[in-house]
Structure 1
Amino acid sequence: MDAVLDSYRDPSKLVLDKVIDRIDGYCAAFIALSPFATLATASPEGWPDTSPRGGDPGFVRVLDVHRLALPDRPGNNRVDSLRNLAANPRAALMFFVPGIDETLRVYGTTTLHGPDELDLDLTEFGKAPRSVLLLQVERAYFQCSKSVMRSGLWDPDRRVERSQFPPFSQVLREHCRDASIPEEEQLRAGLRLEL
């Protein structure tokens, strides 16, 4: 493994210098535009976990230059990320903005709070969050656009037609070996009710 790692050139000064220890104005503006982020955590045994998070643009709230508030919305109730953070409070968020190829990475240490513990209105879709994760920011930086550009993530011509993949209800029935899982329309209607 060392031989492979040694084959990479050293990162440039710019790549190293772009890492800051706070949320500056550019980071705050990017977060305010972002409707989607991934939350990375690790279990006590070291197993990584990445969880998608989304909402209206700015659903993650910048409280000040060192703190972000991430509301937890109804989901599948596995709460893998939250359980991981209870044991290992380090986390990373990666923010995406549709139409912008760069991403923003933010790292820090978290604390979990009930929705009434903080003096914040984080209501979305008419519902308060189940909990709120506060991230104490330790590092933040913008990631270059190469991976998003290569993927064509925002290119409408590269969108996959939904018909190219089986309906999610079918996938669940076969993964779970459970014929009682409802058809796609009923499944999606249930998911919409939980928003």
Structure 2
Amino acid sequence: MQKFSLNPDFVLQDETSLRELFPATHDLAVQKCQSTLDKHARDFIGRSPFLCLGTQGLDGKADVSPRGDPAGFVKILDQETLAIPDRPGNNRLDSLSNILANPSVGLLFMIPGFDDTLRVNGTADLVVDPELLKAMSINDRAPKVAIVVKVTSVFMHCAKAFRRSHLWDPSRFQDRSEMPSLINIIMDQTTGAPDDATDMKALDDKLEEDYKRTLY
């Protein structure tokens, strides 16, 4: 694939140039931003089994991490504070390390079948309070860390992106088998995937067993 080069003549350099391209923000888009978790935000979070967590390190590198559990897994501690359990993963600890370096976080809550989403911004701490962690246990296994977020802004986000993408429309679902499996892709990118289909299936089966063993 040929390398792409940006033409600097068409790169925006300041916010004034950006805003000249768009109409003024609608009053409601400004007014809808809240500083606390009202009853609608709390209800949305209580129904959500999935969120995306955005973080950024001191070096400016950004990261977005998916977080999922049964609906209501994010605990609302008060109108300005929520807690996210950190479940077992690959131990890269990208999000957690970023939070230690830069506590600013952005959250995007989703509910299957809902085209609108909830956006929450705030500052995060990594907490190991045994009582809090115990309250987040699943199958008698508590998380090692809770991400406690002090909310600074919260607002509902419109459905346009989900409507355009048809994300929840079963007729638009793609066949996962049209791409290699996760472990196949990772091995292609690293040590090289085995050519033998039987060997590859054994690796796929091993990953599935690992999911069952380490999910919580």
- TM-score band by shorter chain is over 0.9
Q: Distance in 1 between matches of 2:45 and 2:179?
A: 31
Compute the TM-score of the two structures, normalised by the length of structure 1.
0.94
Q: Distance in 2 between matches of 1:29 and 1:110?
A: 21
Tell me the equivalent position of 2:211.
Answer: 191
| 1:170-189 superposed matches below 5 A | 170-179=184-193, 183-189=203-209
Q: Deviation per CA, 1:85-124: give whole Å up to 9, x if none.
A: 1011110110000001000000111111115163751012
Q: Is the 8 A contact 2:133 2:146 kept in 1?
A: no
Q: Which residue identity is paired with 2:105? A: A
Tell me the equivalent position of 2:124.
Answer: 110
CA RMSD of aligned residues (A): 1.7
- The change in CA–CA distance for 1:168 and 1:70 in structure 2 (over 3 A counts) is same
Deviation, 1:30, is 0.5
Q: Which residue identity is paired with 2:170? A: P
Compute the TM-score of the two structures, normalised by the length of structure 2.
0.85
Q: Distance in 1 between matches of 2:18 and 2:79?
A: 38
Q: Distance in 2 between matches of 1:115 and 1:123?
A: 13
Q: Distance in 2 between matches of 1:58 and 1:71?
A: 11
Q: Distance in 1 between matches of 2:140 and 2:170?
A: 31
Structure 2 gap segments, 5+ residues each:
1-11, 195-199
Q: Is the 8 A contact 1:37 1:94 kept in 2?
A: yes
| 1:19-34 superposed matches below 5 A | 19-34=33-48
- Higher Rg: 2
| 1:1-195 superposed matches below 5 A | 1=12, 2=14, 3-116=17-130, 118=132, 121-179=135-193, 183-195=203-215
| Structure 2 counterpart SS, 1:150 | helix
| Structure 2 counterpart SS, 1:141 | strand
Q: Deviation per CA, 1:32-78: give whole Å up to 9, x if none.
A: 11010000000101111100000000111111100001010000001
Q: Distance in 2 between matches of 1:8 and 1:45?
A: 31
Q: Which residue identity is paired with 1:54? A: G
* Structure with greater strand share of residues: 1
Q: Give % identity.
A: 36
Q: Is the 8 A contact 2:34 2:153 kept in 1?
A: yes
Q: Is the 8 A contact 2:133 2:142 kept in 1?
A: no
